[in-house]
Amino acid sequence: MGEEVKKIMHVVRRPPHGTIYPYEGLEMVLIMAAYDQEISMAFIGDGLFCLLKDQDTTKLEIKGFMKTLGVLEDYDVEQIYVDSKSMAERGLTPDDFCIAVEVLEPDEMGQKMAEQDCIIPQ
Amino acid sequence: MLHIINKSPYCNGSFDMALRFALPGDPVLLIEDGIYAGRAKGCSAEKLANALSQHEFYALIADVEARGVKDLNEAVQVIDYDGFVELVEQHKVNTWL
């Protein structure tokens, strides 16, 4: 309703299934995206492991969020950033991830963070 | 942008991460267990010393005193709750939980 669009970045720092943070965080991303804000996600540290392909949580008997990651694009959440240093530290490449990401150097990521109206840690 | 750290530098990497992405000139506020990152001793002391050339560091006095930490790097500025509020008023906040 004519309200200013805010730039909001969700920062994912934890691996996928050890805590509830990435699950609830992803839900929050989708809810906020429904309000037409400019949402981005930054995956840093162990948060990169949330993006690995072929996560199968069947035996854990939990839903997992592979499918949710897949619909981010449908919610116009297309700015998905990954920290290059965290990726190198963990021996990962963008091919290991289940969605398309933009890899940023730490100074570029710092700049993206500085541009936000709001940063939500997960 | 104000970076707030509330975890020990020996536990979850938030100190390293905040410093990785903080832009030169960004202030850093240590609260709760983040206080331990402000010490002049220990493995993280050198990281702090290096970071002090680019960032102002603040530590919340209530959390410093509660932990009995007496060996803060002297360049770390000890502030009270009013100082905390002032920092938050002056800057956008990036919290490293």
State the average pLDDT for chain A.
93
Pull the structure tokens for residue B15: 């100190």
Task: Give kind and range of the element (H or E) at residue A92.
Answer: none
Average pLDDT over residues A78-96: 96
Q: Which of B14, B20, B26, B91 has the most A C-beta neighbours within 10 Å, making it the best mutation to test the interface with A? A: B20
Nearest residue of chain A to residue B13 (CA atoms):
A45
CATH number (domain holding residue A68): 3.40.1260.10
Q: Domain B2-96 - what CATH class?
A: alpha beta
Contact between B21 and A116 using a beta-carbon 8 Å cutoff: no
Q: What is the mean pLDDT of residues A95-100?
A: 95
B94–A contact, CB cutoff 8 A: yes
Cα gap A30→A37, rounded to integer Å: 11
Q: Among all chains, which residue has been given the structure tokens 């995206």?
A: A33
DSSP character for B95?
A: E
- Of B35, B46, B44, give the one whose Cα is nearest residue B78: B35
Instruction: Give per-residue pLDDT as tens, A13-55.
Output: 999 988 889 999 999 999 999 998 999 999 999 999 999 999 9
DSSP structure string for A8-77: EEEEE-S-SSSSSHHHHHHHHHHHHHTTT-EEEEEE-GGGGGGGBTT---TTTTS--SHHHHHHGGGGT-
Interface test with A, best of B93, B94, B95, B96 (most A CBs within 10 A): B94
Which of A106, A107, A113 comes nearest B1 by C-beta? Answer: A113
Confidence of residue B29 (pLDDT cuts 50, 70, 90): very high
Task: Verify whether the Cβ–Cβ distance B97 to A44 is below 8 Å.
Answer: no
Q: CB of A83 within 8 A of CB of A47?
A: no
Q: Which residue has the higher pLDDT, B11 or A101?
A: A101
Per-residue pLDDT of B43-97, as tens digits, reads 899 999 999 999 999 999 999 999 999 999 999 999 999 999 999 999 999 999 8
The total of structural domains in chain A comes to 1
Interface test with B, best of A6, A7, A13 (most B CBs within 10 A): A13
Q: How many residues are listed for chain B in this entry? A: 97
Q: What is the helix, strand, coil percentage profile of chain B, to 5?
A: 40, 20, 40
Please report, for chain B, the start and end positions of each structural domain, with discontinuous segments joined by +: 2-96
Chain A hits for B21, CB-CB cut-off 8 Å, are 44, 83, 106, 109-110, 113
Contact assignment for A119 to B95 by CB distance below 8 Å: yes
> Minimal Cα–Cα distance from B51 to chain A, Å?
15
Asked if this assembly's ipTM is beyond 0.90, the reply is no
pLDDT at A38 (0 to 100): 94
Name chain B contacts of A45, Cβ cutoff 8 Å. Answer: 13, 17
Which residue matches tokens 């850093």?
Answer: B28
Phi, psi of B55 (to 5 degrees): -135, 145
Residue A13 domain-assigned? yes
Q: Which residues of chain B does A110 touch, with a Cβ-Cβ cutoff of 8 Å?
A: 20-23
Whole-angstrom distance between the N-terminal and C-terminal Cα of chain B? Answer: 16
Domain region containing A101: 7-121
B79 φ, ψ (degrees, to nearest 5): -125, 160
Token pair of A79 as six digits: 């700015």
User: What band does B23 get if pLDDT is binned at 50, 70 and 90?
Assistant: very high
Q: Is the pLDDT of residue A1 over 60?
A: no
Does a structural domain hold residue A1?
no
